[in-house]
Amino acid sequence: MSTTTVKASVLHGIRDLRVEWREIPPPGPSELQVSVRSTGICGSDQHYYNHYRNGDILIREPMSLGHESSGMVEAVGSDVPEGSFKVGDRVALEVGLACGTCELCTEGRYNICRSMSFRSSAKSFPHFQGTLQQRINHPAQWCHRLPESVSLTEGALLEPLSVAIHGVRRSQLSGTKTALVLGAGAVGLLTSAMLRVEGASKIVIADIDPQRVDFATQNEFADVGFAVPLKQGATIEAKLAIAQETAKLATTAAGLCGFDAVFECTGVETCVQTAIYVRLTSSSVQVLIPIQKVTDLAVNRPLAPEAE
Ligand SMILES: [Zn+2]
Ligand SMILES: [Zn+2]
C-alpha cells in the first residue's frame, strides 16, 4: 500500500477553517488506517474554532479538530494480531494515547495520564491531529470494533458516553440516590442517562440555557430542571456568592437539603464551587469536563471533593 491523499479540515486561526489535501502513509505495523465516517463536535472543538485556544491551551500550529469518531478499517498494519481486525470492520476510536508506563497508567487510570496526547487537543506539541480528515492512521489497540447493532453515528457517541459511564461509576452511586447534574450539554445528558440506568431516584439538571433544560426534562433525562441566571463575579467572594446562590436554587428546585452525588459537566469555575456547596457531607463530586481555572474551590467545606 502506498501513500494516500486525503481531504482534511484544518483550523488555521480564529474561525479560519480550510479544506486541504494531506498525504498519509500506509498504517504503521501496529496501526489501522481508518476512514472516518462520523464525528461529534465537542465543546473543546468549538472553543478552538471560535478562539484558536481552549482556556489556557493555545493552538501553536494548524490543527484538525474532532475526536468523537467512528469509521471503517481500510488497511491493517503488519503486526496487528491476525483475526483482530480486517478491512471493512466498523470501529469506534479511543483518541487519547497514554504513555502506558507511568504510575497512573499502570494502575489502569490511563485516562488521567499526565503524558497523554489527545486528538484535536493543542496540549501536546506537535499537536495530535483530530479526526475531521477523510482517513487517519490510529493504533489498533485504541480502536474498538462495533457490533452490528450499533450504527456509526452511535459509535461516535461512545467517546462522550464513556466519560459519563466513568463518572457515574466513580461516584459509586447506586439504588435510590439523588443526583445533581450541572450542564445539559452532551456530557450532562449522557451522565443523566447513565444515572437512569443506575436507578437514581431523583435527577436534577441545571444549565444557563432554558431550552437545554427543557430538552433534558421533556425527554426524561432528568426529573427536575432549572435555568441558572447568567452572572459573573469579578472577585473570589462574588464568585463564591454566585455559587452559593446556585446551590440554593438546586436544593429548592429538588425539594432536598443536598444531593448524594454531583456531576460537574460544564467546565465552568463557579459550577465546581456550586458542586461543593450543594453536596451532602458523605457524597462525592465528579468533575467530568476539564476546568481551566479555579481560583477558590471552597474546599474548607467539610470534605474535600473527589474530582476527576
Ligand atoms: Zn470532547
Ligand atoms: Zn501514563
Print pLDDT tens along the chain (308 aa).
789 999 999 999 999 999 999 999 999 999 999 999 999 999 899 999 999 999 889 999 999 999 999 999 999 999 999 999 999 999 999 999 999 999 999 999 998 899 999 999 999 999 999 999 999 999 999 999 999 999 999 999 999 999 999 888 888 877 778 999 999 999 999 999 999 998 898 999 999 999 999 999 999 999 999 998 887 877 888 888 888 888 888 888 888 888 888 998 988 778 888 888 887 655 667 777 766 555 555 444 433 333 34
Residue 89 CB partners (closer than 8 Å, separation 6+): 72, 73, 145
Distance 45 CA to ligand 1 centre (A): 7
Distance 44 CA to ligand 1 centre (A): 6
ipTM score: 0.92
Dist. CA 141–CA 95, nearest whole Å: 11
Distance 67 CA to ligand 1 centre (A): 7
Distance 18 CA to ligand 2 centre (A): 33
Sign of CA dihedral 57, 304, 233, 254: positive
Which pairs count as long-range contacts for 122-127, CB under 8 Å and 24+ apart, including other chains?
A: 122/48, 122/53, 122/54, 122/57, 122/58, 122/59, 122/60, 122/63, 123/57, 125/60, 125/61, 126/61, 127/59, 127/60, 127/61, 127/63
- The SS3 assignment for 240 reads helix
Distance 256 CA to ligand 1 centre (A): 32
Distance 267 CA to ligand 1 centre (A): 12
Distance 43 CA to ligand 1 centre (A): 6
Query: Residue 172: how many CA atoms within 13 Å on its side-chain side?
Result: 4
Residues of the chain by 3-state class (helix, strand, coil), percent to 5: 30, 30, 40
Q: What is the distance between the terminal CA atoms of the chain, rounded to a whole angstrom?
A: 42
pLDDT of 302 reads 39
pLDDT of 296 reads 52
ω before 126 within 30° of 0 (cis)?
A: yes
Q: Give me the residue label for grid cell 468523537.
A: 68
Distance 209 CA to ligand 1 centre (A): 20
Distance 159 CA to ligand 1 centre (A): 7
| Other beta carbons within 10 Å of 219 | 11
Domain 4-156 coded CATH 3.90.180.10? yes
Residues 162-287: name the CATH superfamily. NAD(P)-binding Rossmann-like Domain (3.40.50.720)
Dist. CA 268–CA 214, nearest whole Å: 21
pLDDT of 171 reads 84
Residue 219 CB partners (closer than 8 Å, separation 6+): none
